[in-house]
Chains A and B, each alone.
Chain A
Amino acid sequence: MRGLVPVLLALAVAVVLVPTSMPRSAGAAGEVTLNVYINGDTNILDLWSKSILPTFTKHYPQYRANMVGLMHGNGGQGVLDKLIAAKRAGRTTDVDLWETEPSMVEQGIPEGLWVKLSDKLVPNIAKVAAEKIAATGGYSAPYRGSSVIIGYNSAFVKNPPKTFDDLVAWIKANPGKFTYCDPNTGGSGQAFVSAAIYKFVNPDKFAGNAYDPKEETAWEPAWKLLHDLQPAVYNNGFHPNGNVAVLQLLGQQNIYVAPVWSDMGLDFYKRGLVPKTVKYEQITPPLFGGDSTVTLPSFSAHLEGALTLLNWLLTPEAQALVIRDVSGYPGVDWKYMPDSVRKQFADVAKPYAPLPNAKYLADIKRLWHDRVAAGQ
């Protein structure tokens, strides 16, 4: 809620100022207000409103920025409907840049809503790994990412497990000192369960759009593995609700090892919410992760400004803000980031496994409950 007040204020101010200031500024300096729609939690809205946008307008004084915050993605469908309606009516839109989920972008592709990104339009796109752009069909640019990694308390774990099999062996050898969140309640738990599944199947088979429940019989050995692990899990097989609850258990030293989201884990460390002895590493094969992307409507009234903003967003300077404020991974390739940053992320910034698609993920959660939690 904290983030909502400034957003509403900004909206109110924009509504009051725009009609009076437009003609003057348009005549004088050609000042343009960019409307940036951001989907995210408070930390992401703060990242944009307090860091990215002020720094951008300082570099490019001809632009002003107005952020519309969509807390937790609320209102995303409304934005999409508005874009489709404007496009069909042949009008321009006031949405200049939108951070949203892939499902929204996908729905807009047949309508021709988005700018097809290329390094001709946005030179810094060349700094982003080509396959990341290709994965979005070329319509979105990843500007921050995170993955699930393993957090461990080095005061108690001298030789942290390096592989998934090592991790399983460690859990069995140290009963009660590991847990992952209920996969219904957080991605870090889903990542650990998926890693168990990926041990027996090819991850790419479940990442694409194809869905066939018959393929799920290949998950059987994973359910057995996870079920056998239950007695060695914290509190005789208890999985707390949510990513934060697991980090808190790590912070209270109730457990010594757990899967956590990279950005949350590093943020907890920075704020002193976990002991200084807590360290993070990625195991092999890696746990899953993903990128957050921004998309530009092709019929925005200020397309040039939106392209300028996106190009600046992919500079090392803007990417450093992402790292500083939310401990995210940069959208651009690591080699463009300063050495100090690369060193800080050396243990965690590894490639990560793909997320299962939404339907498989739903089945993973249900089957985990039936086969692992309920112990069938």
Chain B
Amino acid sequence: MSDAALIPRPRRGVGLRQGALGLALVLPPLLVLAFLVAVPAVTAVIETLTPEGGGGLTFANYARVLAVRTLRADIAFTVGITLLSVAVVFALSYPLALYLRFSRGGAARVLGVLFVVPLFVPVVIASFAMITFLVNHGFVSTMLYQAGVRAFPRLVYNGTGIMLTQVWVNIPFAVLILGAGLQAIDDALIDGARDVGAGPVRTFLSIILPLNAVPTMIALTLLFIGVFGSFTIPYLVGGNAPAMLGVTMTNYLTQYLQRAEAVTIAVLAFVIASVVGAVYVASVSRRERGAM
């Protein structure tokens, strides 16, 4: 509503009408957000902090959940796999985004089309494709066998499988965000750096990396939250244990019939994700301040 102050003195009736229209337009998503996200989230937090029978405040649910060694292992596994996946995606996507930004010519155009393909493949299909590709008698093991490699590491039904599938699925997304940031960098700045004698590495470190810092942070945080909260890939490609939290929560709710534990794990996951979310919000607001 403070936005009304920014509108430069409209005639009274018009302003009101515009305000009402704006409110009507943002109301549906706002209501969805309030009733499908905020209310259940707050209820869940309150539920986990209320002792059985009601009244007072307790951390007993958290103590009980964190006392289970398997659950602690699942939390550590989830954070570890997520960080590893994000690191690998980032390491592969940044060079690709740079190449697509600064190369002209046929190869770059073809690559520019090819790299988005995983974006249009449903995650379920991608997961099964990765299983077929990486499993014991799959494509990779057959090729290695032909090449004379007899000791074949397990690439699916464990953390490695989850990580490899996450990388395959997430690269287009990361390249798109990083690429959009790179497009916004003025060619004149790069040409200027070259004119004063900066090599490619120096140009990258001193010009491109700092100017692309905000999109980079946004890409990293969104990647983290996406991988951290995933269910399909860990369910299909992961092993029996340790499991990622999405799978663990589902098991506690639907298989073990332990709703309180499931909700408590969800709140813990939410806390971890919100730390990363705070970084995202800080990055976005810094960009907006920069734009002003």
- B236 contacts the other chain (CB 8 A): yes
Per-position contact with B for A209-242: 1 when CB-CB < 8 Å, else 0?
A: 0000000000000000000000000010111110
CB B232 to nearest CB in A, in angstroms, measures 12
CA distance A373 to B157 in the complex (A): 13
**B59-90 at interface with A (beta carbon < 8 Å):** 68-70, 73
CA distance A359 to B257 in the complex (A): 8
- A51 contacts the other chain (CB 8 A): no
CB A372 to nearest CB in B, in angstroms, measures 9
B69 touching A376 by the CB < 8 A rule? yes
CB A212 to nearest CB in B, in angstroms, measures 15
CA distance A303 to B70 in the complex (A): 54
CB A358 to nearest CB in B, in angstroms, measures 7
B239 touching A374 by the CB < 8 A rule? no
CB B281 to nearest CB in A, in angstroms, measures 36
- A363 contacts the other chain (CB 8 A): yes
CA distance A240 to B251 in the complex (A): 15
B157 touching A238 by the CB < 8 A rule? yes
A238 touching B136 by the CB < 8 A rule? no
- Which chain B residue lies CB-closest to A366? B256
Chain A residues with CB below 8 A from B136, complex form: 235, 254
**B234-257 at interface with A (beta carbon < 8 Å):** 235-236, 239-242, 251-252, 255-257
For the complex, would chain B's binding face be called helix, strand, loop or mixed by DSSP majority?
loop
Number of interface residues of B (CB under 8 A): 20
- B194 contacts the other chain (CB 8 A): no
Per-position contact with A for B205-239: 1 when CB-CB < 8 Å, else 0?
A: 00000000000000000000000000000011001
A373 touching B240 by the CB < 8 A rule? yes
A184 touching B70 by the CB < 8 A rule? no
Chain B residues with CB below 8 A from A254, complex form: 136-137
A184 touching B241 by the CB < 8 A rule? no
Per-position contact with B for A336-376: 1 when CB-CB < 8 Å, else 0?
A: 00000000000000000000001100110110011001111
- Which chain B residue lies CB-closest to A252? B137
Chain B residues with CB below 8 A from A370, complex form: 68-70
CA distance A288 to B7 in the complex (A): 73
Chain A residues with CB below 8 A from B70, complex form: 369-370, 374, 376
Q: Chain A residues in contact with chain B, CB under 8 A?
A: 182, 184, 235, 237-241, 252, 254, 358-359, 362-363, 365-366, 369-370, 373-376
Q: Chain B residues in contact with chain A, CB under 8 A?
A: 68-70, 73, 136-137, 154, 157, 235-236, 239-242, 251-252, 255-258
